[in-house]
Structures are given as structure tokens and as C-alpha cells.
Chains A and B, each alone.
Chain A
Amino acid sequence: MVETTELKVKIGLEVHCQLTNLKSKLFCSCSSDYRQSPPNTHVCPVCMGTPGSLPVLNRKAVEDAILIALALNMQISNKTIFYRKNYFYPDMPKNFQISQYDRAGGIPIAKNGSKKLEVEKIVHISRLQIEEDPGKISYEGTIETSKSAFVDYNRAGIALVEIVTEPDINSPKEARIFLQKIRSIMEHLGVSSGELEGSMRCDANISIQGGTRVEVKNISSFKEVERALNFEITRQKNLLRTGHRIGQETRHWDEARRVTISLRVKEEEEDYRYFPEADLVPLSISEEEIERQKNSMPELPEGHMQRLMTQYDISRQNAMTLIDNKALAEFFEESAVNYSHPDLLGNWIVGDLLSYLYEMDIELKDAKLMPRDLVKMLELIDDGTISGKIGKELLKEMLISGKSPDEIINQKEMRRISDSEYLNQLTEEIFSSNPQAVKDAIKDPKAVRFLIGQLMKKTGGKADPQLANNLVNEKLKTSKT
């Protein structure tokens, strides 16, 4: 029996980010715009590995990788080499993947970086590699029953960077925060857009004190990471608690069933028989080149956060949440230029808007919301046309329908009711149907709230609260005598 609650968890991540700002593949000029294309339309002798074809490195991929290395405080190698990773699997038509390696004489493009998570927490990054994405395999029916694998090579050869961390991460939550920061850096650099399906994926190494290192592959989006890690940690702790041992193995995250399953992988690291890719000459990176990239470095998340705080006077917490999602921060800034209370705007975006997006499980770009409509909605609250509470409903409606706030409040009759004659009539009705409550309210001023609440309820929350308050208190005075 092992007490498992206090056992230390160590997680290392291998993060794969497609360089989505590239127009062509890593080693050939096939278009990288594969997401909407019919299968096997962006293929050529190079990415299909036909005999005699030769890869040529995309210059922009190297520039991107240098920017990433600089943003992650890495040491950039002055000379870097491409290696072949050999394996027979239909996702790579060449039967090898061109990648980089840090052993057997290999030199990745950059090493030894770090990313600060919180004040005290640093995740060390051991290396950055440039490599090609494999193709995509689909099956008829399920994996188990399909007779064949059906392969689309449009993705084969798309440029990726792989970021490998040290096992410095101690919880699934930290892993999620780390990945959010990586995504934000990529988006600020303009090299990879996390909004595109499948553009950021990762594998994780997990070990629990007293256990062995287990690798979990196929975590297909950053959203899945926390879930996959939580499952795997619970599984390992249960094994330890019941006196089993954890064997070193590779597991696969099954997103549909939300479990990790064991892969019978017979290939070990040395079986990939890494060796230098003879078809590509070494890459030498000069100080001048690094300097050039340094000078073209755009605003990074840290700087962006500081600027949001000083330029718009919003809280550090809000600024931090905004920069984690660059599109959200941009949406904030586009709205803020037309609105007089950026701090309030920040609260709405970080609070209600973000939680609606999360609830609806969509990205901001998929929501039908325009900055000017959000500003309009806030102005309707400011001038008393609607209440703050109605504003929340309105925002949700705007996200779903894409309609303007005016259109929705007219359609749904959300406008605030300030017609005192009508409200008075409702108050009379409430008083006569709640005699006990009226008596209570006369004795105890705190009990008045119940009656006001009834009036708000009758109007669907649309009664002008100040007016409702006055009318009920007036009526109460006359009831006393």
C-alpha cells in the first residue's frame, strides 16, 4: 500500500507547433494551405519521397525558429543539422521523417531556454527542433474494424517546430498554463495560429514519485492536455495504491473515450536509427542573422501586458488573461478605442465574454461578435436603457445570433421599464397577494427586499431598480397608516 495523495508528479512536454505563417511546406514548394483541400492535392515528388527528388529548406521556417528561440531565451546553435528519423508507418511516404536530434552528433537549432509561469515557477526548455509534419490517416468505421488505412499526404511535410521541456511541470494545471503561454508567444510572434485545428499538439512524459516514466501521445489540442494528464495521473496513482508497479510504456490519448490506452510499440529510441540527412547541407546561423531577427521581434506577451495596463489602466489580472489569447486582447483594444471605461470593458471581456466562449466551446473568431456591438451594449447599460443583468443575457444573445444589441432588445423587449403607472399597478397586485410579506416589511425594513424582488420578477428583471425601490417603499408608507 502506498499513500498516493502527496506523491510528486513530474511532467515533461513535447509541443508541436505548425508554422502556420508559411505559405509552402518545409522542404518543397507545395502549398501549406491544406485544411480545406481535397486529399492528396498538395503533393509533389519531394514530399512523396519519390526517388531522385531533393528537399530544399524553406528560409522562412528558419527565421520563425530563430524568433521562437529568442522568445524562449534559448541558445541558438551557430551550426545546426537535419537528421532522418527512420520508421515504417504509412503517415510518412518516405519512410522517414526529416527532423533534428540532440544525440548521435545531432545539433538542434536551439537549446537551453526557459519560460516563467508564475512568479516563482520556471519551466526549462531543453531544445527546439525544426521538423516536418506527417500525413493524416483515416479509417473506414473504426480503427479496429477498418480493412485499410486511408492516407492524405497534404499535411506531410508541413513545417513544425518541436519544443521539448525538462520535466519541470508538477501538475496538469501547470501544463495547461505553460501551453497557453506558448500559444500566446507563437501568436504574438505571428508564426503559429492556435485557432487553426490541429496546429498545436503535444506529447507528455509523466512520472509519479516511485513510478516509471510513461509517455502519452496524441494529445491533439491544448484544450485536451489537462484532461489527458489528469486521467493518466489518476491511473498511475491507482496502480501504486493497489500495490502494482508502473511499467515504462507509451500510451495513446483517446479523445473520444477520454482514456489513455497502451500502445504496443516495439520501437525504442535507438530503433529510429537517426542519422544525418545527406540530402540537406548543414545550416549555419550567423550573429548578424540573429541580430536581424532580434530587431524584427514584435511585441511579446509580457510587453503587451505592461502596455495594456498603462495604456488602458486595467488590472494586472485582466491584462494577464487578455494576453493569454492574442485575439481576445486585440478585440479588447479595438473596443477600447471607442469606449470611455476600458476597465469596465476589460471586466466584461475577461469575465462574461470569456466564460460564454468557454461554455459554448468556441474561439472568439467563431463568435459573431463585433467590437462596436459590445461597446454599444455597454453604452445601453450606461445610459440606463437596460440593466447590467439584462446586459449579460444580451451579450449571450449577441454571441449566438450576431445581431446588433438594438435589434435584440427590441425583438426580445429587453428595454428597462420606467413606466411608473404600470409599475405601480404591478406593485398593488403584489401587495394584495402577499399580505403577510407586507406586514413583515412594515416591521422589518430588511424584509422590503422580498417585495421589490417580486416586482423585478414580474417584469422579468426589466423594472428600473431605483424606481421599483421607490414605488414599493412609497406604497409601504401608505400601508402603515
Chain B
Amino acid sequence: MSEDKKITKEQVKHLAWLARIKITDSEESKYAEEMGEILKYFRKLDEVDTEGVEPTHHVVDVVNVMREDEPEIKPAENILKIVPAKKDRFIKAPRIV
């Protein structure tokens, strides 16, 4: 990967769309610049020789944390309290599609 590989404004625009956030034209250029810097920094990792090293999926060396299949009745009302928009018991969200 070359050092000067830039993040384009198009890529920033696409990322903003994926995250469902609106950004302005000037923000597009600003973020393209900043993200390019961040990626350049990360590219340092490419210098490490990982030949024959197992991929790390998790930082703690623990496996098999599981629970038994036992249902618990929990009051849903507390959760519903923090929901911004409701209709009856349904949670209202913007229509997508």
C-alpha cells in the first residue's frame, strides 16, 4: 500500500451515508484529510512481520463464557421509558425504503 493513498471525498460521503449522518461540503474535505492521516498512522502496523502468527480475535485469553437457557421475566417498562417516540406499545422509527 502506498504512503500517499488518499481518502476521497466520495468515500467520506459514502461513509456518512452508511452512518446516516449529514455532513457539509467543507466537512467532507476536512474529514477526508483527517481520515487519511489516521489511516497513514495505522499503516505503520503493516511494517510488522506477522508471518505464522495466529490472528487475535479477542484481547483477553478467555473462551466459552455462556449462560444456561433460562428465561427471566423482566419489566420492559424501564426500557420503554427511554424510547423517544412510541405509538401504543410500538416503537416509532423513521420509515426507511
A residues apposed to B, CB below 8 Å: 22-24, 29-33, 38-45, 48, 50, 56-62, 79, 81, 86-90, 105, 137-139, 143, 146-153, 263, 266-267, 271, 273, 276, 278, 280-284
Give the B interface residue count (CB, 8 A). 39
Interface pair A282/B71, CB less than 8 Å apart: no
CB contacts (< 8 Å) of A50 on chain B: these are 79, 82
Interface pair A281/B64, CB less than 8 Å apart: yes
Interface pair A271/B18, CB less than 8 Å apart: yes
CA distance A360 to B28 in the complex (A): 59
CB contacts (< 8 Å) of A148 on chain B: these are 85, 87, 92-95
CB contacts (< 8 Å) of A280 on chain B: these are 65
Residue from A43, A60, A79 in contact with B69 in the complex, judged by beta carbons closer than 8 Å: A60
CB contacts (< 8 Å) of B74 on chain A: these are 29-30, 44
Nearest to A31 among chain B residues (CB) is: B71
Nearest to A152 among chain B residues (CB) is: B90
Interface residues of B in 47-97 (CB under 8 A from A): 55, 57-60, 62-74, 76, 79-80, 82, 85, 87-97
CB distance from A2 to the nearest CB of B (A): 33
CB contacts (< 8 Å) of A105 on chain B: these are 55, 57
CA distance A31 to B70 in the complex (A): 8
| 15 CB < 8 A contacts A-B | A30-B74, A33-B71, A44-B79, A57-B66, A59-B66, A60-B69, A87-B18, A143-B97, A148-B87, A149-B92, A149-B94, A278-B59, A281-B58, A281-B63, A281-B65
CB contacts (< 8 Å) of A266 on chain B: these are 17
Known: A29-B67, A44-B76, A150-B90. A276 touches B57 (CB 8 A): yes
CB contacts (< 8 Å) of B82 on chain A: these are 50
Q: Identify 4 new A-B residue pairs, CB closer than 8 A, beyond the known A143-B95, A143-B97.
A: A30-B72, A40-B79, A61-B69, A271-B18
Nearest to B87 among chain A residues (CB) is: A150
Is B38 close to A, CB under 8 A?
no
CB contacts (< 8 Å) of A87 on chain B: these are 18
CB contacts (< 8 Å) of B97 on chain A: these are 143, 263
CB distance from A25 to the nearest CB of B (A): 8
Contact with A along B26-61 (1 / 0, CB 8 A): 000000000000000000000000000001011110
Nearest to B91 among chain A residues (CB) is: A151
Known: A48-B79, A59-B68. A281 touches B89 (CB 8 A): no
Residue from A86, A89, A147, A283 in contact with B64 in the complex, judged by beta carbons closer than 8 Å: A283
CA distance A271 to B17 in the complex (A): 10
CB distance from B25 to the nearest CB of A (A): 20
CA distance A124 to B46 in the complex (A): 37
Residue from A23, A40, A60 in contact with B90 in the complex, judged by beta carbons closer than 8 Å: A40
Tell me the dominant secondary structure on chain B's binding face: loop
CB contacts (< 8 Å) of B64 on chain A: these are 281, 283-284
CB contacts (< 8 Å) of A33 on chain B: these are 71
CA distance A76 to B75 in the complex (A): 38
Is B1 close to A, CB under 8 A?
no
Interface pair B62/A281, CB less than 8 Å apart: yes
Interface pair A278/B58, CB less than 8 Å apart: yes
Interface pair A42/B62, CB less than 8 Å apart: no
Interface pair A146/B95, CB less than 8 Å apart: yes
Interface centre among A39, A143, A273 (most CB of B within 10 A): A39
CB contacts (< 8 Å) of A48 on chain B: these are 79
CB distance from A272 to the nearest CB of B (A): 9
Interface pair A59/B69, CB less than 8 Å apart: yes
CB distance from A461 to the nearest CB of B (A): 55
CA distance A267 to B69 in the complex (A): 35
Known: A44-B79, A150-B87. A29 touches B92 (CB 8 A): no
Nearest to A32 among chain B residues (CB) is: B71
CB contacts (< 8 Å) of A151 on chain B: these are 90-93
Nearest to B80 among chain A residues (CB) is: A40
CB contacts (< 8 Å) of A152 on chain B: these are 89-91
CA distance A29 to B88 in the complex (A): 24
Nearest to A154 among chain B residues (CB) is: B76
Residue from A39, A143, A146, A153 in contact with B88 in the complex, judged by beta carbons closer than 8 Å: A39
CA distance A225 to B94 in the complex (A): 30
Is B22 close to A, CB under 8 A?
no
Residue from A41, A58, A273 in contact with B66 in the complex, judged by beta carbons closer than 8 Å: A58
Residue from B67, B68, B96 in contact with A149 in the complex, judged by beta carbons closer than 8 Å: B96
Interface pair A39/B17, CB less than 8 Å apart: no
CA distance A189 to B19 in the complex (A): 41
Interface pair A24/B89, CB less than 8 Å apart: no
Nearest to B90 among chain A residues (CB) is: A150
Nearest to B78 among chain A residues (CB) is: A45
Nearest to B68 among chain A residues (CB) is: A59
Interface residues of B in 5-21 (CB under 8 A from A): 14, 17-20
CA distance A90 to B76 in the complex (A): 18
Interface pair B69/A58, CB less than 8 Å apart: yes
Interface pair B69/A45, CB less than 8 Å apart: no
Nearest to A54 among chain B residues (CB) is: B65
Interface pair B88/A23, CB less than 8 Å apart: no
CB contacts (< 8 Å) of A81 on chain B: these are 57-58
Interface pair B65/A56, CB less than 8 Å apart: yes
CB distance from A130 to the nearest CB of B (A): 12
CB contacts (< 8 Å) of A86 on chain B: these are 18
CB contacts (< 8 Å) of B88 on chain A: these are 39
